[in-house]
Amino acid sequence: MSKIDEDPIDHLSVTPPKDWATGVPAVTHALEYSLSQTSPRRTMLTLLNINQIDGIDCPGCAWPEDKKRHFNEYCENGAKHINDEATSRRITRDFFKKYSIAELDTKSDYWLNQQGRLTEPMIKRPGATHYAPVSWDEALDLLAGELRALASPDEAMFYVSGRLNNEAAFLLQLFSRAFGTNNLPDCSNMCHESTGWGLGGALGIGKGSVSLDDIHNSDLVFLVGQNPGTNHPRMLAALEETKRNGGEIVAVNTLPEAGLMRFKHPQKARGVIGNGTQLADQFVHIRAGGDMALFQGLNKLLLEAEDNAPGTVLDYKWINKNSRGFTEFAEAVRKISWDDILMATGMTLAEIKEVHQRVLKSKSAIVCWAMGITQQKHGVASIREICNFLMLRGNIGKPGAGVCPVRGHSNVQGDRTMGVWEQMSDEFLDALGKEFKFNPPRHHGYDAVQGIKAMYEGKAKIFLGVAGNFVRATPDSDYTEQAMRNCRLTAFVSTKLNRSHTVCGEYALILPTLGRSDRDIQNGIEQWITVEDSMSDVHRSHGKLPPASKHLLSEVEIIARLARKTLGKKSRIAWEEMGADNDKIRDHISRVVPGFENFNERVRKPGGFNLGSPVNNDVFPTPSGKAEFWASQFEMPIVPKGHLLLQTLRSHDQWNTIWYAPNDRYRGIHNARRVVMVNPEDLAEFGIADGQQVDLVSVWHDGERRAEDFTVVSYPASRGSAAAYYPETNVLVPLDSVADISNCPTSKGVVIRLEPRR
Ligand SMILES: Nc1nc2c(c(=O)[nH]1)N[C@H]1C(S)=C(S)[C@@H](COP(=O)(O)OP(=O)(O)OC[C@H]3O[C@@H](n4cnc5c(=O)[nH]c(N)nc54)[C@H](O)[C@@H]3O)O[C@H]1N2
Ligand SMILES: Nc1nc2c(c(=O)[nH]1)N[C@H]1C(S)=C(S)[C@@H](COP(=O)(O)OP(=O)(O)OC[C@H]3O[C@@H](n4cnc5c(=O)[nH]c(N)nc54)[C@H](O)[C@@H]3O)O[C@H]1N2
Ligand code: SF4
Ligand SMILES: [Mo]
């Protein structure tokens, strides 16, 4: 680990990609990072508490805990994430005196994060070169005054990242609506937004329908467009159980990710020695953006198989009882040509038939997916096709079957449940208005992409981010940075320093907050928060560590104080009461959010409660009350000759916009991040050598965008695709290159060419 003020040396070395994930080296890597951040005592305190019943919910991904909690209920990356927050390093006012904002802006994302926890509120005033200390009251008075001075509430935006807990998310959306706007963009806009639209249209739900037990007991699990070894490591233990119970796994990816192939359990003797468990029974090396075509092909084969042996393949009982649109859908799928499907998938017919045979053999199937699907132009249509596929054999609502979108941030699903969305339903707004006796605005707000455009054009003037790193998480970095700089005021409620603090509006505020691992005492009573995981389990998280500084406030308190200062005495909402007592917020939630009745009581039970999914009781909350088949048009990304389809993805040593070390161990990439992984045959065709320096140039209707100085790594990526790390490559993603319907940036589908550097 390098010194605190230097970046690790950028000196690429490449080793062969691994074909197994999470063995003993993983545990040592977790400890190494943790101990570089804090003392052995604090490391042990966090690790003993992570994901335990009365402990700290892992601030990493949203994968659920096993009902039978194990002593070590965490993975290597979870340990890194929690100790990145629990770090003993501190940023004080002297730090901001030493570095100008312009100087901080030249530092890497790594460096900014490594400086440690933020400890007191800071302000940048118009024309100032440095942040200066400011009291909480002065900071919040300024923000409140500026909000009140806006010509319209819709000139303000309130961004939420999925690290935020339920109580704070509920309070923020309440404040935003009481102030008068639905401008609530969130990280989900860039993440599983396509999932919400796809599942909403097909099944009337926005979330997954399966439990861990379903995964364990399924006959066939598809892992499509996700990298669980890095991004949801404990999912591998669940998949190992699937295998042990006789289930099969089909992995569909443009890269042969280590975690899809084989798993060595870090906490079991047989994971330490030996070869571990083989995971994927079949690896489908798909062409980028070819997943919809794959499922169309599988659906075509199912229809043909039913023709050949009527009454044996499709579940007509389920289809007739629960769905609509089968006939139109079947007609459309039959018309799609195999030539198109094979071209889009890059597969042979024999390979697709092999998957089909596995489907025929199975009595239950689950499809899991993540960013490889949602961040594609036709992501929503791909998810509709996945739903068609499952519905054909009644694989919704029975044990071992269903949809499993694998969520990113630990509470990203909960934040949406709590009403953080720019287009919440009238039912939700009615309930909110009734509970708090006001009329919430009804017109939709800005999502992330629309919000950036509005700031650029001067239509939005104040940006408040609660958690996250908006400027690095969003596409088209140059444009987005200008959009932020155009603002009157940018403010962030944050635990750690990041780029969003160095790209400032006229005024800028850093509002430091307690992290999930910090103890929060209000009036002598310990406060705890709640989260909802990827499988709709709602449970508690208790901070355990002494707060990083005595000046920190909880997110809830910051929002409550801001709300009172902005809305003044005329607001009849009990902000002070809620800001001081999370139980009070939960009481309100119990009357506003469906499924949260008796919230305080039920969530106090060990492990909390599960929200369930209506589709498991054959209830489909679509406008028709039925599950909807959908006839998607055939679609595949068109990539001009000499170009590649770039995906911007995560390395093993990073949490979203923040990297912990310049390594991607499973992919064999060490000591560098500006690398682009390309298939050797594509490189040969372009006349570009492994190890050559290139610029990545993205091609879009409004012109070209450039990311300079990348090293080419010859890699088994599928033909025609390329992979490079986010957020360094966000500059290449055009703001209006978005998924149809969901408006999610196409971070996995950017047309680029490689331009050799002289
Ligand atoms: N350690 C760690 N864990 C994390 C995160 C992190 O940054 N670090 N982030 C969290 C968040 S917010 C999220 S949303 C999740 C993200 O979890 P993932 O979705 O697994 O994350 P990505 O790294 O974006 O990887 C996308 C995967 O899709 C594949 N892919 C790309 N294009 C295609 C395609 O066209 N078809 C198919 N079939 N596959 C494709 C890529 O090769 C890669 O394996 O992870 C969460 N967990
Ligand atoms: N090109 C490209 N862009 C992408 C993606 C991609 O795959 N490719 N993925 C997208 C996805 S899936 C997502 S989810 C977004 C992620 O977007 P964000 O969620 O906005 O980004 P993070 O990097 O998770 O935010 C990290 C910051 O959160 C703050 N933080 C951490 N914990 C806490 C806390 O407890 N409270 C508060 N208040 N602050 C805290 C810290 O200051 C830290 O610096 O990025 C998206 N952008
Ligand atoms: S799988 Fe996700 S939630 Fe579980 S310990 Fe790892 S990072 Fe944390
Ligand atoms: Mo995400």
Q: Which residues contact 337 (CB under 8 A, 6 or more apart)?
A: none
Atom of ligand 3 nearest to the CA of 74: 5
pLDDT of residue 73: 76
Q: Which of 173, 175, 171 is nearest to 188 (CA)?
A: 173
Q: What is the mean pLDDT of the chain?
A: 95
> Distances in Å between the alpha carbon of 63 and those of 414, 502, 573, 654, 732?
13, 32, 35, 17, 30
Check pocket membership of 374 for ligand 1, CB cut-off 6 A.
no
Check pocket membership of 227 for ligand 1, CB cut-off 6 A.
yes
Of 81, 83, 227, the one to substitute when testing ligand 1's pocket (max ligand atoms within 8 A of C-beta) is: 227
Structural domains of the chain, ranges and CATH numbers in brackets: 91-191+421-527+555-592 (3.40.50.740), 195-406 (3.40.228.10), 644-756 (2.40.40.20)
| 383, 199 contact by CB (below 8 A) | yes
Nearest ligand to the CA atom of 499: 2
List the residue whose alpha carbon is closest to atom 4 of ligand 1.
Answer: 231
Check pocket membership of 747 for ligand 1, CB cut-off 6 A.
no
Whole-angstrom Cα distance, residue 20 to residue 276? 8
Check pocket membership of 30 for ligand 3, CB cut-off 6 A.
no
Q: Which residues contact 698 (CB under 8 A, 6 or more apart)?
A: 646, 704, 705, 706, 732, 733, 734, 750, 751, 752
pLDDT of residue 2: 45
Whole-angstrom Cα distance, residue 112 to residue 527? 30
| 301, 352 contact by CB (below 8 A) | yes
CA 107 to chain centre: 25
| 699, 640 contact by CB (below 8 A) | yes
Check pocket membership of 190 for ligand 1, CB cut-off 6 A.
no
pLDDT of residue 71: 66
pLDDT of residue 47: 86
pLDDT of residue 475: 98
For the chain, the helix, strand and coil percentages under 3-state DSSP, each to the nearest 5: 40, 20, 40
Q: Is 694 helix (H, G, I), strand (E, B) or coil?
A: strand
Measured N-to-C along each axis, helices 379-392 and 193-203 cross at an angle, to the nearest 10 degrees, of: 40
Whole-angstrom Cα distance, residue 287 to residue 422? 34
| 160, 467 contact by CB (below 8 A) | yes
| 411, 423 contact by CB (below 8 A) | no
Amino acid, single-letter form, for residue 607: G
Question: Ligand 1 centre from 755 Cα, in Å?
Answer: 26
* 367, 371, 376, 380 alpha-carbon torsion, rounded to 10°: 50
211-226 per-position pLDDT tens digit: 999 999 999 999 999 9
Question: Ligand 1 centre from 428 Cα, in Å?
Answer: 31
Residue 522's beta-bridge partner residues? 525
Averaged pLDDT in 10-residue chunks for the chain of 758 residues: 67 90 71 89 88 92 84 84 96 98 97 98 98 98 98 98 98 98 98 98 98 98 97 94 97 96 71 73 97 98 98 98 98 97 98 98 98 98 98 98 97 97 97 98 98 98 98 98 98 98 98 97 96 97 96 98 97 97 98 98 96 97 98 91 98 97 95 97 98 98 97 98 98 98 98 96
Amino acid, single-letter form, for residue 80: K
Check pocket membership of 77 for ligand 3, CB cut-off 6 A.
yes
User: Tokens representing 99?
Assistant: 């570095």
Whole-angstrom Cα distance, residue 51 to residue 55? 6
Check pocket membership of 75 for ligand 3, CB cut-off 6 A.
yes
Q: Which residues contact 144 (CB under 8 A, 6 or more apart)?
A: 562, 565, 566
Nearest ligand to the CA atom of 667: 1
